[in-house]
């Protein structure tokens, strides 16, 4: 929510308008800024939830109160749920996602570059990616388990496969979009093909690669729950799944919020990373 | 003294009936400043790209001291209309990149890059990011980067085309100063006849349909600037206006405007 507000503010700043501040009348003449409307929506949601829970319109077994969920954050964080604390579940999940991201980057960036710079590369990898891209991870999860067992590598592999296509495709489109002048300039300065890839094409494609990374993290994070359904003993997906089996709804909701909060933090982190790595993007 | 010979160059772009360039022959010697002028579609940029080695001609060859070129190389560094700088590097690093490709050791690069930036009157701008620089400054960084390659021939594709008139005038004299100091052979494409006259030692006029070289004219206005005369007095010389009319006649020959 806040992120979309940020985008709008960026656009307003590009137009030379100052950022809207909540409460006051904005430059465009609106009484409410978009940010305050969003905050209002969130507040309304929590008030409605609290009222429904308070008047027991729905049984607490199905819809615990916000306070009960908040309390669960505390108890699971301190004493744990299904043999692990919230932090242990969380770190198990994060470790899987980031391990998968690491391996996926290792494969997908070179593949993307190959697709982007060479006809042969495109011929080889395009069909593979187009085959993998539309398949939901849950569909190939059983096959991965048959081949690689139920251990940690299988979970990481499933997430990594899900991340492969978005990173490779973004990398390829970034590589194809590199300005010809830039490549030709490097060539007439005497750059070899390898120098061209490392010093010109790769940096030029970085904004695009980061976009792919952002999509991949989203995909990875959603695949996580699926990957943790099978024979995991730790992880947010596993925690939610086991809580659901025992109808511990407050833990389910708490888990969902944890996933949402982490996704939000990752998104903000990626924006930071973008600003730090490619401050030039969009300013040329 | 390196000698670049353009021999019978023809270029057909795929899918097009008429050649973009047909049987073009000329040459550039070190210490010369050759300017290609002509209407759009006359193949001047095509010819420059062939000389740079970025475009393979359908026919003919480019030779440097008798050796046929096979592709782009640092002895023919190219300056672009849109600087083509690397925005992830600052001004100094952009210049140093060309030094790195030339094999200059890491510890010497910074100092040499700063000296080259000084040559294009950008002392103290080394740490600036590319997007913080104006169009004229960026073009000068591009020039410094091309010079860093120590080319025997400096190729320029409408390098001042995107600049405003005042900046362009200052860049023209800067180009002359640098050309006079470095002794490179310069080959430049422009659509400004005044610019061509002021800079060139020889003007090559091209005509479209099919693109071809129709005339070569030796001029000496640039040399007069290098020898100390001001641009103002050169341009005030009636000979300048006569030469301009002459070239315009060649360019627009056969046109009923």
Domain ranges of chain A: 1-18+27-57, 86-277
Q: How many CA atoms lie within 13 A of A135 on its CB side?
A: 19
Chain segment A211-252, per-residue pLDDT in tens: 999 999 989 988 887 788 777 889 998 999 899 999 999 999
| A25: confidence class by pLDDT, cuts 50, 70, 90 | low
What does the block give as tokens for A15? 């137009």
> Are the CB atoms for A238 and A228 separated by under 8 Å?
yes
CB under 8 Å, gap of 24 or more: what pairs does A217-222 form? A217/A97, A217/A101, A217/A163, A217/A266, A217/A270, A218/A263, A219/A162, A219/A163, A219/A166, A220/A97, A220/A100, A220/A101, A220/A104, A220/A159, A220/A162, A220/A163, A221/A97, A221/A259, A221/A262, A221/A263, A221/A266
CA pair distance B35, B197, nearest whole angstrom: 9
Whole-number Cα distances in Å, A102 to A149, A180, A213, B199? 21, 30, 10, 55
| A16 interfacial to chain B (CB closer than 8 Å) | no
Please give the average per-residue pLDDT across A193-216, as a whole number: 94
Q: Which residues contact A38 (CB under 8 A, 6 or more apart)?
A: A1, A2, A4, A5
Contacts of A280 in chain B (CB under 8 A): 87-88, 129-131
* Mean pLDDT of the residues in chain A: 87
Considering only CB atoms, A181 lies closest to which of B74, B80, B98, namely B80
Please give the average per-residue pLDDT across A244-266, as a whole number: 91
Residue from A179, A180, A188 whose CB has the most chain B CBs within 10 Å, to mutate = A188
CA pair distance A76, A64, nearest whole angstrom: 16
pLDDT of residue A38: 93
> In this structure, what are the phi and psi dihedrals at residue B256, rounded to the nearest 5 degrees?
-105, 80
B213 CA: distance to closest CA in chain A (Å): 25
Alpha helices in chain B (DSSP H): 44-52, 91-102, 106-119, 135-148, 165-182, 193-199, 221-226, 231-236, 238-251
Task: Judge: B155–A185 Cβ closer than 8 Å, yes or no.
Answer: no
CA pair distance A166, B2, nearest whole angstrom: 51
Q: Chain A residue closest to B138 (CA)?
A: A284
pLDDT of residue B255: 61
Q: Which residue segment(s) compose the domain that B131 sits in?
A: 80-150
CA pair distance A120, A84, nearest whole angstrom: 49
pLDDT of residue A32: 83
B74 CA: distance to closest CA in chain A (Å): 4
Task: Give the number of A-B residue pairs with CB atoms closer than 8 Å.
Answer: 72
In which order are the strands placed within the sheet that holds B212-218? B76-79, B153-157, B185-189, B33-38, B202-207, B212-218
pLDDT of residue A4: 47
CA pair distance A206, A210, nearest whole angstrom: 6
* Residue A6: pLDDT over 50: no
Task: Judge: A190–B155 Cβ closer than 8 Å, yes or no.
Answer: no
pLDDT of residue A90: 93
- Asked if the structure places residue B119 within a domain, the reply is yes
> Are the CB atoms for B175 and B167 separated by under 8 Å?
no
pLDDT of residue A14: 52
Task: Judge: A182–B98 Cβ closer than 8 Å, yes or no.
Answer: no
Quote the number of domains for chain B.
1
Q: Provide the CA B188 distance to its chain's centre, in angstroms.
A: 3
Quick one: angle between helices A66-78 and A86-117, nearest 10?
Answer: 90
CA pair distance A50, A38, nearest whole angstrom: 19
pLDDT of residue B177: 92
Q: Chain A residue closest to B149 (CA)?
A: A189
Q: Which residue has the higher pLDDT, B75 or A8?
A: B75
Q: Chain B residue closest to A187 (CA)?
A: B72
Please give the average per-residue pLDDT across A180-195, as a whole number: 93
pLDDT of residue A33: 87
Q: Are strands B185-189 and B76-79 parallel, antiparallel or unpaired?
A: unpaired
B123 CA: distance to closest CA in chain A (Å): 22
> Are the CB atoms for A28 and A22 separated by under 8 Å?
no
| A278 interfacial to chain B (CB closer than 8 Å) | yes
Task: Judge: B86–A187 Cβ closer than 8 Å, yes or no.
Answer: no
* Residue A11: pLDDT over 80: no
Q: Which residues contact A185 (CB under 8 A, 6 or more apart)?
A: B78, B80, B84, B85, B142, B145
Q: State which H helix or E strand residue A246 sits in.
A: none
pLDDT of residue B195: 93
Chain segment B16-65, per-residue pLDDT in tens: 888 899 999 999 999 999 999 998 889 999 999 999 999 999 999 999 99
CA pair distance A148, B102, nearest whole angstrom: 50
* Residue A1: pLDDT over 50: no
Task: Judge: A184–B74 Cβ closer than 8 Å, yes or no.
Answer: no
Please give the average per-residue pLDDT across A175-184, as a whole number: 93
Chain segment A104-118, per-residue pLDDT in tens: 999 999 999 999 999
CA pair distance A128, A15, nearest whole angstrom: 43
Question: Which residue from B33, B86, B54, B49 is spatially nearest to B204, judged by alpha carbons?
Answer: B33
Count Cβ atoms within 10 A of the Cβ of residue A246 and give its class: 0-12 exposed, 13-18 middle, 19 or more buried: exposed
Mean pLDDT by 10 residues, chain B (257 residues): 91 88 93 92 92 94 93 92 90 95 92 93 92 92 94 93 88 92 92 92 92 91 90 92 92 66
B208-228 residues labelled b (16+ CB within 10 A) or e (exposed): eebbbbebebebebbebbeee
Chain segment A139-160, per-residue pLDDT in tens: 888 899 899 988 889 999 999 9
| A2: confidence class by pLDDT, cuts 50, 70, 90 | very low
pLDDT of residue B156: 95
Task: Judge: B97–A189 Cβ closer than 8 Å, yes or no.
Answer: yes
CA pair distance B217, B202, nearest whole angstrom: 5
Stretch 186-205 of chain A: residues touching chain B, C-beta under 8 Å? 186-191, 195, 199-200, 203
Please give the average per-residue pLDDT across A107-133, as a whole number: 94
- Asked if the structure places residue B227 within a domain, the reply is no
User: What is the 3-class SS of B52-91, one letter each residue?
Assistant: HCCCCCCEEEEEECCEECCCCCCCEEEECCCCCCCCCCEH
Reduced to 3 states (helix: H, G, I; strand: E, B; else coil), residue B214 is: strand
ipTM tops 0.90: no
Task: Judge: B82–A189 Cβ closer than 8 Å, yes or no.
Answer: no
Reduced to 3 states (helix: H, G, I; strand: E, B; else coil), residue B24 is: strand
Contacts of B99 in chain A (CB under 8 A): none
Q: State which H helix or E strand residue B40 sits in.
A: none
B134 CA: distance to closest CA in chain A (Å): 11
> In this structure, what are the phi and psi dihedrals at residue B205, rounded to the nearest 5 degrees?
-95, 130
Percentage of residues of chain A with pLDDT beyond 90? 58
Task: Judge: B87–A179 Cβ closer than 8 Å, yes or no.
Answer: no
pLDDT of residue A97: 94
Domain A86-277, CATH homologous superfamily name and number: MetI-like (1.10.3720.10)
């Amino acid at each position: 929510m806040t992120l979309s507000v940020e985008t709008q503010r960026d656009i307003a700043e590009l137009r030379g308008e100052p950022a809207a501040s909540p409460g006051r009348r904005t430059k465009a003449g609106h009484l409410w800024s978009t940010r305050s409307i969003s905050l209002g929506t969130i507040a309304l949601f929590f008030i409605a939830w609290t009222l429904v829970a308070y008047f027991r319109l729905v049984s607490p077994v199905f819809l615990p109160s916000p306070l009960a969920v908040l309390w669960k954050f505390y108890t699971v964080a301190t004493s744990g749920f299904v043999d692990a604390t919230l932090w242990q579940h969380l770190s198990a999940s994060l470790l899987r996602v980031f391990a998968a991201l690491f391996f996926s980057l290792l494969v997908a960036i070179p593949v993307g570059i190959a697709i982007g710079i060479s006809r042969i590369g495109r011929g080889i990898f395009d069909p593979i990616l187009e085959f993998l891209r539309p398949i939901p991870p849950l569909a190939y999860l059983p096959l991965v388990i048959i081949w690689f067992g139920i251990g940690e590598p299988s979970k990481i592999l499933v997430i990594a496969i899900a991340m492969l296509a978005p990173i490779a495709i973004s990398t390829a489109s970034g590589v194809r979009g590199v300005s010809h002048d830039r490549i030709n300039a490097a060539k007439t300065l005497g750059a070899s093909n390898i120098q061209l890839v490392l010093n010109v094409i790769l940096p030029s494609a970085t904004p695009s690669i980061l976009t792919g990374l952002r999509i991949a993290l989203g995909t990875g994070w959603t695949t996580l729950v699926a990957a943790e359904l099978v024979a995991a003993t730790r992880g947010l997906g596993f925690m939610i799944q086991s809580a659901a089996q025992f109808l511990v709804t407050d833990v389910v909701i708490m888990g969902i919020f944890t996933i949402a909060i982490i996704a939000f933090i990752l998104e903000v982190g990626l924006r930071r990373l973008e600003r730090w790595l490619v401050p030039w993007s969009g300013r040329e | 003294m390196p000698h670049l010979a353009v021999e019978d160059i023809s270029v057909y772009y795929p899918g097009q009936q008429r050649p973009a360039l047909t049987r073009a022959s000329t040459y550039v010697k070190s210490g010369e400043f050759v300017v290609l002028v002509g209407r759009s579609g006359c193949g001047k940029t095509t010819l420059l790209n062939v000389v740079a080695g970025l475009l393979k001609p359908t026919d003919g060859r480019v030779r440097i001291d008798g050796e046929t070129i096979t592709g782009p190389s640092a002895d023919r560094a190219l300056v672009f209309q849109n600087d083509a700088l690397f925005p992830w590097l600052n001004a100094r690093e952009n210049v140093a990149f060309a030094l790195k490709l030339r094999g200059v050791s890491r510890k010497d690069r910074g100092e040499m890059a700063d000296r080259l930036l000084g040559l294009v009157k950008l002392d103290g701008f080394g740490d600036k990011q590319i997007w913080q620089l104006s169009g004229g400054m960026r073009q000068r960084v591009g020039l410094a980067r091309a010079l860093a390659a120590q080319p025997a021939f400096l190729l320029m594709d409408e390098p001042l085309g995107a600049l405003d008139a005042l900046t362009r005038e200052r860049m023209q004299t800067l180009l002359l100063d640098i050309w006079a100091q470095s002794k490179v052979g310069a080959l430049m494409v422009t659509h400004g006849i005044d610019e061509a006259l002021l800079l060139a030692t020889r003007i090559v006029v091209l005509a479209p349909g099919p693109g071809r070289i129709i005339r070569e004219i030796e001029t000496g206005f640039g040399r007069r600037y290098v020898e100390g005369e001001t641009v103002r007095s050169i341009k005030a010389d009636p000979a300048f206006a006569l030469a301009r009319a002459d070239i315009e006649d060649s360019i627009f020959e056969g046109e009923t405007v």
